[in-house]
């Protein structure tokens, strides 16, 4: 008998070729996530992927596999000989591995996927339960209604014993849903927005705006660190870095102070759209959430949308800050996000920003600017970084 990690994939609603592409892609990502470990064997058996490796590597491997989108469950399992005796021996080995030293209750659930296997479950269950009681009866009692430990046995091409299941993120493997350009600030929200769309299969690149020398190198390092943390889930991230200062100065000179935020946002989107044309992104992504700050009103969002033709995806639009923070903590970006460095937008934050901008007024203000030239000049001085996961 041998230990394996089993991986179950989600999106059961997908059918036919879609499902096959989805699984092939997810399997490739899973195997890539554990490439630093010695994999002795891997194969598929009835929808699950089984990976054989050293038992002591399992915890670290499972942490790595958990970051792959498209997975619902991961569990260590013992592959045993497909016979009653094989399963009985396996159960003893499996329970020993758990090192149980306190009273507990259990239930065995056999899933006879291979319908040709004999004996059938009603006959098999008592035999297997009996083995557990005979060998571990001083700690284990049967409880079929609310057992502390469910021991699953799947009978497929081989037979597998497992009990603990670690939950994966679900979602779709990266690359199934096109390419998105994430407007990445140093805040809490945008990394979460990028994460959520990556989870739905979007391949994510990042676009960051700074206002050097008003914003600092350390502020920039912080954003790179956030991109790195995100890349643990998305894989390598291309990050475009652009100095927004010349545009902000121009707005400051020629437009109303209260419109600074909304006007800079429209420039950010235009620059994002221009890069999308060059490098083939299908959508822009932001961390905007309704009502959070002055520019994030329905009117504000709508005026921002009008700056470009391409879609702007806002996965956080209906989320509360507490919900966003919860995800940020879970994915490991929160601690970096709260480091105190100024953002390009806080440098030029108006005292009383417009909360209900009208497109007419905003366009009128922009008529004082050479929009196209400002966008081009900003892009000409752009820097590009490739951010790799650890
Ligand atoms: P975050 O926590 O993501 O910074 P926020 O609550 O601070 O968001 P804003 O600063 O108003 O909100 O920004 C709204 C969205 O605009 C951000 O989520 C991000 O997608 C984009 N954005 C803001 N500032 C920048 C920046 N300096 N570079 C790139 N994108 C930015
Ligand atoms: Mg911000």
Of the residues 185, 227, 300, 315, which should be mutated to test ligand 1's pocket, given the most ligand atoms within 8 Å of the CB?
A: 185
Question: Could you tell me if residue 114 is left (phi over 0), alpha (psi between -120 and 50 degrees) or otherwise beta?
Answer: beta
Does domain 2-169 match CATH 3.30.2130.30? yes
| Atom number, ligand 1, closest to the C-alpha of residue 210 | 27
How much is the pLDDT for 249? 95
Rounded Cα gap, residues 93 and 142, in angstroms: 19
Cα 167 to chain centroid, rounded:
13
Among 181, 186, 189, 340, which residue has the most ligand 1 atoms within 8 Å of its CB, making it the best to mutate?
Answer: 189
Query: How many whole angstroms from 384 Cα to the centroid of ligand 1?
Result: 19
- In angstroms, the Cα distances linking 157 to 48, 50, 53, 253 are 11, 12, 19, 73
Q: Which atom of ligand 1 is nearest to the CA of 207?
A: 29
| Closest ligand (CA of 208) | 1
Q: Whose CA is nearest to atom 6 of ligand 1?
A: 189
Short-list 146, 138, 203, CA closest to 176: 203
Residue by residue, pLDDT tens for the chain (390 residues) are 999 999 999 876 677 778 888 888 899 999 999 999 999 999 999 989 999 999 999 999 999 999 999 999 999 999 999 999 999 999 999 999 998 889 999 999 999 999 999 999 889 999 999 999 999 988 999 999 999 999 999 999 999 999 989 999 999 989 888 999 999 999 999 999 999 999 999 999 999 999 999 999 999 999 999 999 999 999 999 999 999 999 999 999 999 999 999 999 999 999 999 999 999 999 999 999 998 777 799 999 999 999 999 999 999 999 999 999 999 999 999 999 999 887 777 777 788 888 899 999 999 999 999 999 999 999 999 999 999 987
| C-beta of 324 in contact with ligand 1 (< 6 A) | no
Q: Is the CB of 374 under 6 A from ligand 1?
A: no
270 C-alpha to ligand 2 centroid (Å) = 18
Nearest to 199 by CA among 8, 337, 10: 10
Q: What is the pLDDT of residue 17?
A: 79
**What is the number of the ligand 1 atom nearest to the C-alpha of 295?**
11
The residue ranges of every structural domain in the chain are: 2-169, 179-387
Cβ of 223 less than 6 Å from ligand 1 = no
Determine the pLDDT at residue 294: 73
Q: Is the CB of 190 under 6 A from ligand 1?
A: yes
Distance CA 344, CA 339 (A): 15
Assess whether the C-beta atom of 250 lies below 6 angstroms from ligand 1. Answer: no
Task: Output the pLDDT for position 333.
Answer: 97
Distance from C-alpha of 95 to C-alpha of 98, rounded to nearest angstrom: 5
Nearest to 132 by CA among 81, 158, 98: 98
The string of pLDDT tens digits covering residues 318-371 is 999 999 999 999 999 999 999 988 777 777 778 888 889 999 999 999 999 999
* Inter-residue contact 65 to 7 (CB < 8 Å): yes
Q: Which residues contact 375 (CB under 8 A, 6 or more apart)?
A: 267, 270, 271, 274
The predicted structure's pLDDT at residue 232: 92
Is there an atom of ligand 1 within 6 Å of 191 CB? no
Q: Decide: 129 in ligand 1 pocket, CB within 6 A.
A: no
Q: Sort 238 into a burial class: Cβ within 10 Å, 0-12 / 13-18 / 19+.
A: middle
- Is ligand 1 within 6 A of the CB of residue 295? yes
In three-state form (DSSP H/G/I as H, E/B as E, the rest C), the secondary structure along the chain is: CEEEEEEEECCCCCCHHHHHHHHHHHHHHHHHHCCCCCCCEEEEECCEEEEECCHHHHHHHHHHHHCCCCEEEEEEEEEECCCHHHHHHHHHHHHHHHCCCCCEEEEEEEEECCCCCCCCHHHHHHHHHHHHHHHHCCCEEECCCCCCEEEEEEECCCEEEECCCEEEEECECCCCCCEEEEECCCCCHHHHHHHHHHHECCEEEEEEEECCCCCCHHHHHHHHHHHHHHHHHHCCEEEEEEECHHHHHHHHHHCCHHHHHHHHHHHHHHHHHHHHHHHCCCEEECCCCCCCCCCCCHHHHHHHHCCCCCCEECCCCCCCHHHHHHHHHHHCCHHHHCCCCCCHHHHCCCCCCCCCCCHHHHHHHHCCCCHHHHHHHHHHCCEEEEECCC
Q: Is the CB of 241 under 6 A from ligand 1?
A: no
The CB of 185 under 6 Å from ligand 1? The reply is yes
Please tell me the predicted confidence (pLDDT) of residue 100.
87
Q: What is the pLDDT of residue 13?
A: 67
pTM for this prediction: 0.90
CA dist 201 to 25, 169, 234, 258, Å?
A: 11, 12, 9, 38
For residue 227, the ligand closest to its alpha carbon is 1
Q: Which of 302, 300, 273 is nearest to 285 (CA)?
A: 273
Q: Measured in angstroms, how far is the CA atom of residue 353 from the centroid of ligand 1?
A: 15
CATH number of 179-387, picked from 3.40.50.620, 2.60.40.10, 3.40.710.10, 1.10.620.20: 3.40.50.620
Q: Which ligand is nearest to the CA of 287?
A: 1
User: Which has the closest alpha carbon to 304: 278, 292, 281, 286?
Assistant: 286
Give a three-class secondary structure readout of 330-366: HHCCHHHHCCCCCCHHHHCCCCCCCCCCCHHHHHHHH
Q: What is the pLDDT of residue 12?
A: 64
Q: Fold match between 2-169 and 179-387?
A: no
Distance 187 CA to ligand 1 centre (A): 6
pLDDT of residue 348: 76
Crossing angle (nearest 10°) for helices 189-199 and 321-331: 70
């Amino acid at each position: 008998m041998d230990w394996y990690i089993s991986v179950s994939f989600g999106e059961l609603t997908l059918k036919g070729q879609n499902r096959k592409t989805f699984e092939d892609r997810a399997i490739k990502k899973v195997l890539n996530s554990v490439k630093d470990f010695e994999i002795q064997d891997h194969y598929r058996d009835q929808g699950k992927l089984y990976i054989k490796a050293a038992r002591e590597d399992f915890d670290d491997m499972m942490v790595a596999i958990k970051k792959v989108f498209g997975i619902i469950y991961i569990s260590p399992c013992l592959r045993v000989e497909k016979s009653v005796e094989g399963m009985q021996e396996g159960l003893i080995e499996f329970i020993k591995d758990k090192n149980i030293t306190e009273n507990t209750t259990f239930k065995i659930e056999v899933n006879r996927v291979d319908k040709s296997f004999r004996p059938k479950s009603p006959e098999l269950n008592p035999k297997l339960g009996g083995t557990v009681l005979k060998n571990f009866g001083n700690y284990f009692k049967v409880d079929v209604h609310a057992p502390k430990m469910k021991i699953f046995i799947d009978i497929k091409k081989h037979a597998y014993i497992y009990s603990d299941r670690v939950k994966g993120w679900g979602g779709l493997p990266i690359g199934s849903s096109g390419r998105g350009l994430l407007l990445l600030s140093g805040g809490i929200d945008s990394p979460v927005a990028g994460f959520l769309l990556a989870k739905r299969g979007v391949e994510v690149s990042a676009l960051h705006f700074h206002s050097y020398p008003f914003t600092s190198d350390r502020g920039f390092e912080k954003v790179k660190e956030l991109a790195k943390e995100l890349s643990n889930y998305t894989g390598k991230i291309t990050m475009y870095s652009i100095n927004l200062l010349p545009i902000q100065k121009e707005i400051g000179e020629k437009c109303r102070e209260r419109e600074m935020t909304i006007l800079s946002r429209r420039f950010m989107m235009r620059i994002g759209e221009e890069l999308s044309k060059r490098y083939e992104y299908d959508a822009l992504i932001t961390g905007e959430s309704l009502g959070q700050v002055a520019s994030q009103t329905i009117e504000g969002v709508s005026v921002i949308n009008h700056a470009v033709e391409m879609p702007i995806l806002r996965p956080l639009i209906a989320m509360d800050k507490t919900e966003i923070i919860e995800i940020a903590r879970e994915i490991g970006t929160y601690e970096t996000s709260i480091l105190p460095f100024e953002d390009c937008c806080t440098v030029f934050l108006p005292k009383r920003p417009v909360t209900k901008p009208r497109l007419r007024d905003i366009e009128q203000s922009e008529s004082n600017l050479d929009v196209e030239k400002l966008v081009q000049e900003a892009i000409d001085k752009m820097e590009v970084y490739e951010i790799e996961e650890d």
